[in-house]
Structure 1
Amino acid sequence: MHSWGSMHGVCVCAVILLLQGALAGESESLDSGAPHVNQVLCWSPKYPVAVLCAWSLQPEPLQPTSVTATYRLGLSGKKMTCKVGPGPLPGPLPITAPGPLAGLLSGWCEIEHLELFVLQTYIVSVSVENHTGQYSFILEHIVKPDPPLKVVVTPGSRRQLSVKWAPPPSWPDPTLFPLKYRVQYTQEGHAPRTLGPYERCEVVLRGLRPRSSYSIRVSAQDFLDNGHPSDWSLPISAHTT
């Protein structure tokens, strides 16, 4: 497994590159013209209910291609089917997804009913023809909420901005599995400042410069620091009085 960023750092998801090799019992090189699994990425925007896995194929298939996705808990676990989803990915692909995956998303599947707080790793295998890509994870390590929504910024009294937002709707139960939030604001022409974490979905930014333009965005993270923070919400512009 190749870790793309620190497991407990700012971001981001890990990537498993294709386990490339000769076909079983053969030593010839693989046909470079046939599609193969280039990268596999898994993350959990719906913790603890489900995990999404996505992959890219290279070269891009010119006709419909059969892809099989399976998962198991540990090397000896029972192999289960990760049902390949129809249509587009149900939610945003993490901004930090590597280039080939972000540029050419070939398919995705969703895994439900995973066990919580187990030390064994889940192993996801994505196969097309004779090529297989794999991704291994511990559920709590790949938690990554979607960004908060409905960010609203309102000028308050002099040198203040009131910021409110809503939890990402994909997060199943903010009551039993709460989120915490960080708010980043940037004055035009200055470096950004990040505040938090906050447990509530609102904060008042104080001590700002009067009659100045600011850009504000919000990030969410599992309250117990499982996994990684979400990507930042779309920036909202506001002006102090």
Structure 2
Amino acid sequence: MFLLCVVPPQEPKVTCRSNTYPKGFYCSWHLTHPTYIPSSFEVDVQHNQHSLYVQKDPVHKNRCHVQFPEVFSSSPYKVNVTAVNALGKASATLSFEESAIVKPDPPERVTASPIRLNPRRLEVSWHSPATWPDIDTFPLKYFLRYRPLIHDKWQHVELLDSTSHTITDAYAGKEYIIQIAAKDTEIGTWSDWSVAVHATPWIEDPLPITTTTEVDFPNETKTSPIPSSKAPQKAEPPVGRAARVVTFFSPLLLGMMLFLL
């Protein structure tokens, strides 16, 4: 048997971020130490001495959403989160300017493909994050990094308003790992890295291997250094009607020759 030591809450840790700029931002919070009894949270957001409407997140209980009342405002926002339980309460306040919390989500649907007949090139393409609401008015720039799996050092390329890039210095036949990050072209910070993709430059197809196969001919056409027992032998004297005629007239011819003499 043991007893839990229930305690009042300590100051919550609060973070805010805009991944849907310029629509709004969200704030999330958590307690760094457990209280072992239920706690609730009260959130207040101030801008230009006005309280803003706070919408609770339907999925994450420790998150809320706030719309920007105006864009390009230089006035700071002040977010106050108070944790409350049966033993007490504690508050934390976070102040920031609009531009400081802009951070897009990572690029999506990143692909990398070999280019036929180019053993040192890879074609990389991606899409802007679906959560970024107005890519035409607020374009993003991208940061691409890539390296062969056999190396630890990354190579980097920064791209302005482009969602594709051709790597031209890849090592032939080596598998590469590739990631992309995104950032608003004017304000904010870089997103987290995208999900890594792997690709290998084009490798030449090997030449087909030719082999010599001995053909087994039928017996009647196959030659052999030893004469067959069925090979033709020395010709015999002709037999038949012609031979019998010569034999029948032989005595008569002999008598006529003697008479003439």
User: For residue 228 of structure 1, what is the aligned residue in structure 2?
Assistant: 189
Q: Answer yes or no: is 1:212 the counterpart of 2:171.
A: no
User: Identity over aligned residues, as a percent?
Assistant: 28
Q: 1:183 to 1:152 in 2, by over 3 A?
A: same
What's the offset of the Cα at 1:57?
Answer: 1.4
Report the TM-score when normalising by structure 2: 0.69
2:83 aligned partner, one-letter code: V
SS at match of 1:46: coil
Q: Answer yes or no: is 1:116 the counterpart of 2:71.
A: yes
User: For residue 149 of structure 1, what is the aligned residue in structure 2?
Assistant: 108
More helix by share: 2
Unmatched segments (≥5 aa) in structure 1 = 1-30, 89-105
User: For residue 197 of structure 1, what is the aligned residue in structure 2?
Assistant: 159
What's the offset of the Cα at 1:197?
Answer: 2.2
Aligned-pair Cα RMSD in Å: 1.8
Do the aligned partners of 1:34 and 1:59 also contact (CA within 8 Å) in 2? no
Q: Answer yes or no: is 1:170 the counterpart of 2:144.
A: no
Instruction: Report 1 or 2 for greater relative contact order, CA contacts < 8 Å, sequence distance ≥ 6.
Output: 1
1:189 aligned partner, one-letter code: I
For 1:125 and 1:71, the matched residues in 2 are separated by 6
Do the aligned partners of 1:69 and 1:81 also contact (CA within 8 Å) in 2? no
For 2:175 and 2:35, the matched residues in 1 are separated by 48
Q: 1:197 to 1:46 in 2, by over 3 A?
A: same
Tell me the alpha carbon deviations over residues 136-166 of structure 1, each in whole angstroms, 9 at most, x when there is no partner: 1111121100000100111112211000101
Task: Give the count of matched residue pairs.
Answer: 191
2:195 aligned partner, one-letter code: L
SS at match of 1:159: strand
Q: Answer yes or no: is 1:56 the counterpart of 2:21.
A: no
For 1:37 and 1:87, the matched residues in 2 are separated by 23
Q: Answer yes or no: is 1:128 the counterpart of 2:83.
A: yes
Report the TM-score when normalising by structure 1: 0.74
Tell me the alpha carbon deviations over residues 108-143 of structure 1, each in whole angstroms, 9 at most, x when there is no partner: 111113322222210001111231111111111211
Greater Cα radius of gyration, structure 1 or 2: 2
